Amino acid sequence: MRVWVNGVPDDATAGAAAGSAKAVSDPALDLLIEGESAVLELRRAANEADYLRRHIALMRIRASLDPARFTLSGRRGLAGLAGLFVRRVAWRLLRYQHEWFAFHENAILNQLAHEIDCLHDETNRRLDRIEKLLSRPDAGNGGIGA
């Protein structure tokens, strides 16, 4: 990494930032980013049809809510800790309600993902049929009289 501060190369600031970057560690985030690399791969789509194909594939892989992944964080200090405790208790008390909502939400999301997937497949099949028709030798006559 190179850094310029106020237009001048600044190795000290670059070194300090590189040192801080090396010092931080979050294996769970590393895994998470690696697992979601397919999202960034959307940048590699060659055209809009390819983008749609990749996007639908992403939907197919995961279109659901998982309340177990929800984390609660608190503010600094004693008041923050107390607030966090209260929210954790409330979250546990409402656990079954969260799961009920997630179950129904997931049912809807999965239906939608399935419908979009089917529509996409159907559209592709229709396009294939049209392309085949157009590529027939008599296509120039509108497919008539051959």
Residue 6 gets the label, from left (phi > 0), alpha (psi -120 to 50) or beta, of left
Q: Does 130 bind another protein (CB under 8 A)?
A: no
CB atoms within 10 A of CB 53: 14
Write out the H or E segment, with its range, that includes residue 8.
strand 8-9
140 binds another protein (CB under 8 A): no
The single residue among 11, 34, 36, 144 that binds another protein, judged by CB under 8 A, is 36
Position 34 contacts another protein (CB under 8 A): no
- Kindly provide the residue ranges of all beta strands, DSSP E only, lying in 51-146, ordered along the sequence: none
Binding interface with another protein (CB under 8 A) = 1-7, 13, 16-22, 24-26, 29, 32-33, 36, 39-40, 42-48, 50-51, 55, 58, 62, 69, 71, 73, 75-76
